[in-house]
Amino acid sequence: MNRQARRFTVQGRVQGVWFRDSTRREAERLGITGYAINLPDGNVDVLAWGPPDALEALEAWLHTGPPLANVSAVIASEVPTSGQGSESPPADFSTG
């Protein structure tokens, strides 16, 4: 299975609106592992591991998020999956 990893920084009104738990449920539905955590600046950091098509679907979902969210931007970056500086894939999707 071709698994890739991407990090997303989600900006806007994304804390206190069930964003992390909704992201976890969407990621699990798509077969993605990783995490969603609140950042001190009010953004949410999402690390996602999965097949490329699932990562694209999650990214599209992140632009809207749950009903109470108001997403202003999603910044995506590739995460190395092998070699120096790479991270190991998590076993599940968690929220911090």
Tell me which of 20, 29, 43, 70 is the catalytic residue.
Answer: 20
Strand 44-50 to 33-38 pairing: antiparallel
- Look up 38 and say whether it is catalytic: yes
φ/ψ bin of 14: left (φ > 0), alpha (ψ from -120 to 50), beta (otherwise): alpha
By the 10 Å C-beta count (0-12 exposed, 13-18 middle, 19+ buried), 46 is classed as buried
Alpha helices (H) in the chain, listed in sequence order: 19-30, 52-62
Residue 70 is a catalytic residue: no
Residue of 3, 7, 13, 38 marked active site: 38
- Point out the residues that are catalytic: 20, 38
